[in-house]
Amino acid sequence: MLVWSLFSYGESKDVYLVFYATYNGKSGHIGLAIDNYKVVVKDTLDLQQRSISVYDTIPDGTLTYFDLWPQTDDFNINNLDKNLPAVYYKLPAASWEKKITVKSLLKEGIPHEEHYPVDGLVRIKSTSIQDAKTKAFAEKLIHDNKPFNVRQYNCSDFVEQILEYHCQCSIEAEESIVFRNSTTPNRLYLETLKLKMVSIIKSAGDKAKGSFTMERLMKRNQ
């Protein structure tokens, strides 16, 4: 007897925090990558020893990458509180663009801005169903097109919002910058390491420990 069933085997399904440290004058950056999947058919037996054709969702080795930038990347003390036009990325943006993988992030970095290997890469265990929902949520945020604001909605706030949706948790990743708190890449990276089901693919080490005020504002002008 042939029975059709939807089932997912034990292959790893993951979300990845993609991190560039705020360090030695660099602003730092953070994004999120999510596994892409393919569906394969496997033959197996059920508990009654009947033949079952099983649809299995497995990662295909590529990633969909999300992040947020200001239209003009000109961070300074005068635009800390200003809304700026936002540029949201979902990459690859087209089928002919180069695939993004864990290996490409480690060797080449994100393809649209930094162009050097990531400082840190963190794996968060997931499921294919969770990943599909998280991608849809990230796409909704992109559609909402909220303005970029260094204080209130920067790249770290965008990723934090997606992570909180994904893990159904609250993340506190703010630090004091010129008398007010803002979410920063370094803090979000360190707080993500505290989540459950997390493993480090590449550690940022001491680069992630510095404050935004010291590493970006003070060292930028040295």
52: β partners:
3, 44
Task: With CA atoms as reference, report the closest residue to 160 among 63, 36, 14, 17.
Answer: 17
State how beta strands 51-70 and 3-6 pair: parallel
Q: Is the pLDDT of residue 78 over 60?
A: yes
Q: How far apart are CA 159 and CA 162, in angstroms?
A: 5
Neighbouring C-beta atoms of residue 80, cutoff 10 Å: 14
83 vs 119, which has greater pLDDT?
119
Residue 92 preceded by cis peptide, ω within 30: yes
Tens of pLDDT, residue by residue over 166-192, are 999 999 999 988 788 999 999 999 999
- How do the domains of the chain map onto residue ranges? 11-37+60-220
pTM of the model: 0.88
In the predicted structure, residue 12 carries a pLDDT above the cut 80: no
Distance between CA atoms of residues 188 and 175, nearest Å: 10
What are phi and psi for residue 156, nearest 5 degrees? Answer: -70, -40
Q: Is residue 7 very low, low, confident or very high in pLDDT (cuts 50, 70, 90)?
A: very low
Mind listing the pLDDT tens digit for each residue in 16-25? 999 999 999 8
Provide the pLDDT confidence category of residue 222 given band limits of 50, 70 and 90: low
- For residue 183, give Cα distances in angstroms to 53, 97, 159, 168: 48, 31, 10, 19
